[in-house]
C-alpha cells in the first residue's frame, strides 16, 4: 500500500484520537497486546455479522482484547456476547494470526471463522456499539474497513492470507 493510500485509511479527528488514546491505555497496561476478531458467517443466508463502534470509524468484524489469564477462545466468546448478543454453539476455527502494525509495533490479532452460533435478540446500540447486524456478502455496508474486506476475501475468495491485519 502506498503512503498516500495508507494515510487515507488512518483514523482522523476525534474518533481517531479516541481510538489512539484507548489503545495507548492498553499499551501502558500490557506492552504486548493480543486481540481476537471473529467472522460470524450465517451459512443459511450467506451473510456475515459486522459492527460499527462509537469510537472508531467503519464497519468491522467483532472482537477485542485478550485479558490477562484469558484464552483467545474465551476472549472471543466474551466479546461476541458483549458486542453482538451472540453465543458460540460450536468451536470457532482459528484461521490466521496477524500483526496489527497500525495499532502498535507489538499488537497481534487472532482471526476466527464462526459458523456455529445462536443469537436470541438483536444487538441494540450502547456506549461501545453504534450499530450491528448481519449483511449479505454481496451487499456489505459502505465504510467496511479495509482489514475486514481483506479477511472476507481470504475466507470466501481464496485470497492469500496476509501476515498483517
Domains and CATH numbers, the chain: 3-156 (3.90.79.10)
Residue 109, Ramachandran bin (φ over 0: left; ψ between -120 and 50: alpha; else beta)? beta
Greatest extent of the chain over all pairs of C-alpha atoms, in Å: 44
- Contact 50/60 with Cβ under 8 angstroms? yes
Other Cβ atoms closer than 10 A to 116: 14
Per-residue pLDDT in tens (0 to 9) along the chain, 165 residues: 444 444 444 556 777 787 778 777 766 766 778 999 999 999 999 999 999 999 999 999 999 999 989 999 999 999 999 999 999 999 999 999 999 987 777 789 999 999 999 999 999 999 999 999 999 999 999 999 999 999 999 999 999 999 999
The pTM (predicted TM-score) of the whole model is 0.81
Nearest C-alpha neighbor of 62 from the set 44, 45, 85, 37: 37
C-alpha distance across the termini of the chain, in Å: 13
| Contacts of residue 39, Cβ cutoff 8 Å, sequence gap at least 6 | 48, 61, 95, 111, 112, 113, 114, 151, 152, 155
Angle at 71 between CA 116 and CA 27, to 5 degrees: 120
Amino acid at each position: 500500500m502506498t503512503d498516500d493510500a495508507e494515510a487515507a485509511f488512518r483514523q482522523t479527528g476525534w474518533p481517531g484520537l479516541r481510538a489512539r488514546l484507548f489503545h495507548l491505555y492498553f499499551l501502558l497496561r500490557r506492552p504486548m497486546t493480543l486481540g481476537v476478531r471473529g467472522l460470524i458467517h450465517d451459512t443459511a443466508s450467506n451473510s456475515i455479522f459486522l459492527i460499527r463502534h462509537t469510537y472508531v470509524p467503519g464497519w468491522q468484524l467483532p472482537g477485542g482484547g485478550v485479558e490477562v489469564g484469558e484464552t483467545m477462545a474465551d476472549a472471543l466468546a466474551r466479546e461476541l456476547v458483549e458486542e453482538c448478543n451472540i453465543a458460540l454453539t460450536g468451536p470457532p476455527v482459528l484461521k490466521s494470526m496477524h500483526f496489527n502494525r497500525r495499532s502498535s509495533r507489538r499488537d497481534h490479532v487472532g482471526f476466527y471463522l464462526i459458523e456455529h452460533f445462536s443469537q436470541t435478540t438483536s444487538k441494540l446500540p450502547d456506549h461501545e456499539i453504534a450499530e450491528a447486524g448481519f449483511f449479505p456478502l454481496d451487499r456489505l455496508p459502505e465504510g467496511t474497513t479495509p482489514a475486514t474486506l481483506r479477511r472476507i476475501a481470504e475466507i470466501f475468495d481464496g485470497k492469500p492470507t496476509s501476515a498483517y491485519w
